[in-house]
Amino acid sequence: MDNESLFDRRAVRRNRDRASVNFAKFDYLITAAAAMLVDRLEDIRRTFPVALDLGCHTGQVAAATSETGKIESLFQSDLSPFMAAKSGGLCFAADEEFLPVGDDSLDLVLSCLSLHWVNDLPGALIQIRRALKPDGLFLGSFLGGESLDELRQALVAAESEITGGVHPRVSPMADVRDGGALLQRAGFAMPVADTDLFTVSYENPLKLMRDLRGMGEQMATSSRLKSFSRKDVLIRAAEFYGEIFGNEESRVTATFEIITLTGWAPAPDQQQPLQPGSAEQSLGDFLNPDDV
């Protein structure tokens, strides 16, 4: 890890190592995101002989794709060797920032809620594109910038009130508007980026914080506060959270933004989008004159 790294990758791996022990109790978000990826995969009328699940957690994508018949051989990798070992099947430990896969070796790369911990996302996407065969598909999702905005606001308010200062306590995340540009920068053809918002209800804010730890999604920025969070700050943050984002049932909600990227490795015979102005008919040909 160099001095300018945004994320401490050793801390990310350590968090995931610890979370692997009881991950099945906290995998609801990754399971939902995996189902979304599979829905998109099923819309594509082809099969993929060799695929990689990059950042596989404990095998949620493998479980979601097992009945589709879309993938013949699925390899699974994770930054955490403990996570990878629990995924079953063909698995190995690997860092998304240093992908140990040869060029033009994969037909499909899937990645489900792991890439938001990567320091050099454009570089990781370039490595993924190089690993794909011509006309190979990348389909990946990661947490976006609107995720956990409620928790962010509550922690800032509590720490400002009690200590008079603010430390970063929720990781910075990418914006969906950057998604397509990132794919283009990495050399993908027909790039698409879209976003979905999930709202999850919790008994209280402390349950949300415990679940984030159980997911391995706690803070791992290089500039994070290295000591334990003060108890009074967490209690006050929970109070702010309940006051601002609580509902009539005395529960609180948390927002998770999932950004999905789709891109194809370029190929000579690949279908290309039409150039602007190349249409042979105008929109007016299809409209009722009375509506124009």
Q: Give the residue extent of every domain in the chain.
A: 9-147+171-202+255-291
Q: What is the secondary structure of 233-272 as a DSSP string? A: HHHHHHHHHHHHHB-TTS-EEEEEEEEEEEEE---TT---
Rounded to whole angstroms, the Cα distance separating 51 from 76 reads 9
Mean pLDDT of the chain: 88
The SS3 call for residue 78 is: strand
pLDDT at 172 over 80: no
Pairing of strands 189-202, 252-264: antiparallel
pLDDT at 181 over 50: yes
Q: Which 3 state secondary structure label does DSSP give 103?
A: coil
| pLDDT given at position 216 | 95
Confirm if 257 and 144 have CB atoms less than 8 A apart. yes
pLDDT value at residue 221:
81
Question: Does the pLDDT value for residue 21 go beyond 90?
Answer: yes
Fold of 9-147+171-202+255-291: Rossmann fold (3.40.50)
pLDDT for position 88: 87
Q: What would the mean pLDDT of 28-41 be, rounded to a whole number?
A: 96
What pLDDT, on the 0 to 100 scale, is given for residue 2?
A: 47
Distance CA 20, CA 215 (A): 8
Q: Which of 15-24, 108-117, 160-169, 185-194 has the lowest mean pLDDT?
A: 160-169
b/e for 35-64, b at 16 or more Cβ within 10 A?
Answer: ebbbebbeeeeeebeebbbbbbbbbbbbbb
DSSP β-bridge partners for residue 142:
259
User: Over 80: is that where the pLDDT of 110 sits?
Assistant: yes
Angle among Cα 109, 114, 115 to the nearest 5 degrees reads: 75
Higher pLDDT, 161 or 204: 204
Q: Identify the pLDDT of residue 228.
A: 56
Question: Which of 92-106, 214-228, 274-288 has maximum average pLDDT?
Answer: 92-106
DSSP letter assigned to residue 273: P
pTM of the model as a whole:
0.87
Nearest CA among 220, 256, 214, 218 for reference residue 23: 214
| Burial category of 249 from C-beta neighbours within 10 Å (exposed 0-12, middle 13-18, buried 19 and up) | exposed
> Positive or negative, the Cα torsion across 266, 269, 274, 278?
positive
**CA-closest candidate to residue 56, choices 32, 88, 28, 26:** 88
Could you give the CA distance from residue 160 to residue 143 in angstroms, rounded to a whole number?
A: 26
Q: Give the per-residue pLDDT at 1.
A: 41
Please answer whether residues 109 and 93 qualify as being in contact, where contact means their C-beta atoms are separated by less than 8 angstroms. Answer: no
